[in-house]
């Protein structure tokens, strides 16, 4: 078969959506004409589509050898390395592509996504705006820019963007969806419901369908229609569950907790870990608790203090525990015998990652905030023997309800929050584990109740600062002003922390008390233990 016939056959296979056959025909054509840059580009794109990343990189690199001024090849390599989380190579290829063709929409949009992925929202905004100027009719950069303004609480920019979107795209369902989200941010709950309730998306558009139901549910909650709210929260959670199609399992996370519960039992002999200083760094403070217990509020208050650096929602502890498992042969029995050299190595890995995000000057108190790090307290106490732990508590009923009400990014842990029963059972297991840790470990800990922060701010925060050996600052009372300058906030509470304290969330569960009949025996136990 000659070259032209092979190209025709390849294109016909693509028309039939038979990518493997198209790849075979293009490969044969490339064997005939090894200098075809166009075929190298096509093979790079197609092999990437079927997940053959190695071949894709080879084809794009071959394209660059044939044409060192090919912006498309560099841009695609940038995308591949972004997928592989190779930060430096990804940026290098995007910038090279931009140098060769600064007015290419795709390259500017991809570079914006790169900065968005790595939390550089100033540059992400810059390149989304450039890509919009280059191609005003492409909806994607508007949608991503909306996320930046929404999650960073730039509501004026959000309003201006919505007006621009309506002017360009009219009132299609995707525009109306963003309109509804913007009205929700302005607390126009009835209007939000009116905009969103009749919008219909493809059944496979799980993200929009789930978020739509969740926002409508919150609106019903705010206007006091609690039965309707509960139905919509349930619908939102069912949609999320369908979206990950068994990719995540609540039982995987339960196993992780139960494994520790079984080992660190109450009749376990008391651990006395060595309080040695292993290096020049001060051990961090770990801000922990069950999700939705007020950790984000406390994080926002504390980061207002000039002597505190907060690292928010980073998986460094989980990664540290994975590294630790190599040293203890995946067996918690070996934790108490962990060698000094291993501890030094593990600390070095952790502090290196930390140093990329915050100032490790020992004049600062470093707070590592991720609520469910609570399950790793034993490991953390071993590796960081001088660490401090801040435990956030909140009425167990309110905690469980709030977990059920949130639209979390799906993972094994969050898969326990699709109904009140699973959420209550996980709460029970996690808190049992915490109390076991309290009994067998010598922990430097301080408990903060969400309700005390709201109702008795000064006394509660001064007590916490005393635990951290820090002085009170009047600026702490205006923490919500600091929140407005934070950029994107990576927790479900992002739209709440830039305002003064309010007590609507206290005892919210009573509006749904009839839904707790099957789990009250679990939660009442913790109501008593935590003195609620």
Q: Is 91 left (phi over 0), alpha (psi -120 to 50) or beta?
A: alpha
Identify which of 62, 66, 113 has the alpha carbon closest to the alpha carbon of residue 90.
113
Residue 514 lies in a domain: no
Q: For residue 468, what are the CA distances in angstroms to 237, 307, 358, 391? A: 39, 10, 18, 13
Tell me, what's the pLDDT at 278? 87
Q: Are residues 188 and 328 in the same domain?
A: no
Domain boundary among the residues 247, 267, 286 is at 247
Angle at CA 432, nearest 5°, toward 408 and 461? 70
Read off the DSSP letter of residue 513.
G
Residue 289 lies in a domain: yes
pLDDT average, residue stretch 363-371 = 93
Q: Are residues 358 and 236 in the same domain?
A: no
Tell me, what's the pLDDT at 495? 46
Residue 5 lies in a domain: no
Q: Are residues 453 and 497 in the same domain?
A: yes
Tell me: pLDDT of 89 over 90: yes
Residue 218 lies in a domain: yes
Residue 252 lies in a domain: no
Identify which of 184, 205, 185 has the alpha carbon closest to the alpha carbon of residue 195.
184
Q: Are residues 406 and 429 in the same domain?
A: yes
Residue 67 lies in a domain: no
What is the tens place of the pLDDT at every residue in 214-272?
Answer: 999 999 999 999 999 999 999 999 999 888 877 889 999 999 999 999 999 866 666 66
Strands (E) located in 383-433: 388-393
Residue with tokens 């002085």: 471
Q: Are residues 332 and 235 in the same domain?
A: no
Residue 512 lies in a domain: no
Mean model confidence pLDDT for the chain: 91
- Give the whole-number percent of the chain exceeding pLDDT 70: 95
Instruction: Quote the distance between the C-alpha of residue 317 and its chain's center.
Output: 15
What is the tens place of the pLDDT at every residue in 298-319?
Answer: 999 999 999 999 988 889 999 9
Domain boundary among the residues 221, 247, 273 is at 247
Residue with tokens 């951290």: 468
Tell me, what's the pLDDT at 394? 97
Q: Is 86 left (phi over 0), alpha (psi -120 to 50) or beta?
A: beta
Domain that holds residue 239: 139-247
Q: Are the CB atoms for 492 and 406 separated by under 8 Å?
A: yes
Q: Are residues 277 and 424 in the same domain?
A: yes
Q: Are residues 283 and 376 in the same domain?
A: yes
Q: Are residues 228 and 300 in the same domain?
A: no
Identify which of 265, 277, 290 has the alpha carbon closest to the alpha carbon of residue 441.
265
What is the tens place of the pLDDT at every residue in 455-500?
Answer: 999 999 999 999 999 999 999 998 877 656 555 555 544 444 455 5
Q: Are the CB atoms for 421 and 234 separated by under 8 Å?
A: no
DSSP string, 38-104: HHHHHHHHHHHHTT-HHHHHHHHHHHHHH-TT-HHHHHHHHHHHHHTT-HHHHHHHHHHHHHH-TT-
Q: Write the CATH number for 199.
A: 1.25.40.10
Q: Are residues 333 and 413 in the same domain?
A: yes
Strands (E) located in 182-318: 285-289, 308-312
Identify which of 141, 139, 102, 101 has the alpha carbon closest to the alpha carbon of residue 124.
141
Q: Are residues 410 and 469 in the same domain?
A: yes
Q: Mind spelling out the 3-state secondary structure of 95-150? A: HHHHHHCCCCHHHHHHHHHHHHHCCCHHHHHHHHHHHHHHCCCCCHHHHHHHHHHH
Tell me: pLDDT of 276 over 80: no
What is the tens place of the pLDDT at every residue in 369-426?
Answer: 999 999 999 999 999 999 999 999 999 999 999 999 998 888 999 999 999 999 999 9
User: How much is the pTM?
Assistant: 0.84
Residue 10 lies in a domain: no
What is the tens place of the pLDDT at every residue in 166-217?
Answer: 999 998 999 999 999 999 999 999 999 999 999 999 999 999 999 999 999 9
Q: Are residues 193 and 285 in the same domain?
A: no
Q: Write the CATH number for 380.
A: 3.40.50.300
Domain boundary among the residues 212, 247, 282 is at 247
CA dist 73 and 65 (Å) reads 10
Q: For residue 460, what are the CA distances in angstroms to 132, 270, 500, 521? A: 48, 30, 16, 30
Q: Are the CB atoms for 479 and 304 separated by under 8 Å?
A: yes
CA dist 361 and 91 (Å) reads 29
Q: Are residues 392 and 287 in the same domain?
A: yes
The total number of structural domains that make up the chain: 2
């Amino acid at each position: 078969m000659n070259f032209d016939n092979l190209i025709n056959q390849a294109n016909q296979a693509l028309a039939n959506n038979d990518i493997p056959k198209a790849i075979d025909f293009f490969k044969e054509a490339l064997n005939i004409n090894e200098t075809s840059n166009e075929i190298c580009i096509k093979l790079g794109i197609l092999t990437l589509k079927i997940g053959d990343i190695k071949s894709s990189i080879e084809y794009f690199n071959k394209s660059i050898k044939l044409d060192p001024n090919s912006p498309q090849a560099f841009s695609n390599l940038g995308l591949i390395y972004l997928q592989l989380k190779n930060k430096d190579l990804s940026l290098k290829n995007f910038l090279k592509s931009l140098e060769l063709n600064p007015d290419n929409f795709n390259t500017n949009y991809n570079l914006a996504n790169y900065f968005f992925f790595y939390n550089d929202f100033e540059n992400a905004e810059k390149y989304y705006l450039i890509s919009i100027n280059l191609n005003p009719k492409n909806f994607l950069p508007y949608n991503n820019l909306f996320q930046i303004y929404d999650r960073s609480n730039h509501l004026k920019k959000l309003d201006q963007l919505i007006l621009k979107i309506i002017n360009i795209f009219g009132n299609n369902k995707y525009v109306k969806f963003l309109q509804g989200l913007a009205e929700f941010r302005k607390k126009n709950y009835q209007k939000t419901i009116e905009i969103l309730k009749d919008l219909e998306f493809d059944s496979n558009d799980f993200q929009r369908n789930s978020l739509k139901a969740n926002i409508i549910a919150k609106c019903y909650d705010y206007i006091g229609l609690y039965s309707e709210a509960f139905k919509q929260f349930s619908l939102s959670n069912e949609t999320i569950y369908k979206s990950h199609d068994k990719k995540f399992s609540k039982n995987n996370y339960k196993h992780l907790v139960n494994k520790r519960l079984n080992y660190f039992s109450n009749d376990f002999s008391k651990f006395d870990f060595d309080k040695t200083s292993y290096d020049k760094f001060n051990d961090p403070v770990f801000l922990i608790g069950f999700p939705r217990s007020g950790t984000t509020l406390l994080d926002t208050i504390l980061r207002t203090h000039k002597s505190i650096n907060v690292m928010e929602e980073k998986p460094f502890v989980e990664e540290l525990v994975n590294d630790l498992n190599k040293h203890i042969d995946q067996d918690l029995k070996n934790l108490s015998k962990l060698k000094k050299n291993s501890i030094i190595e593990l600390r070095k890995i952790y502090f290196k990652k930390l140093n990329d995000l915050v100032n490790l000057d020992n004049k600062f108190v470093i707070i590592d905030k991720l609520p469910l790090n609570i399950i790793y307290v034993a490991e953390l106490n071993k590796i960081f023997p001088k660490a401090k732990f801040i435990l956030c508590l909140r009425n167990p009923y309110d905690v469980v309800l709030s977990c059920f009400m949130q639209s979390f990014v799906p993972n094994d842990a969050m898969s326990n929050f699709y109904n009140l029963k699973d959420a209550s059972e996980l709460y029970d297991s996690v808190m049992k584990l915490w109390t076991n840790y309290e009994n067998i470990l010598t922990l430097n800990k301080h408990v903060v109740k969400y309700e005390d922060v709201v109702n008795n701010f000064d006394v509660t925060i001064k007590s916490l600062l005393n635990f951290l050996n820090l002085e009170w600052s009047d600026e702490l009372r205006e923490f919500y002003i600091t929140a407005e300058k934070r950029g994107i906030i990576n927790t479900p509470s992002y739209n709440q922390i830039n305002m003064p304290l309010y007590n609507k969330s206290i005892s919210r569960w009573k509006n749904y008390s009839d839904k707790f009949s099957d789990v009250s025996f679990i939660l009442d136990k913790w109501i008593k233990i935590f003195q609620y």
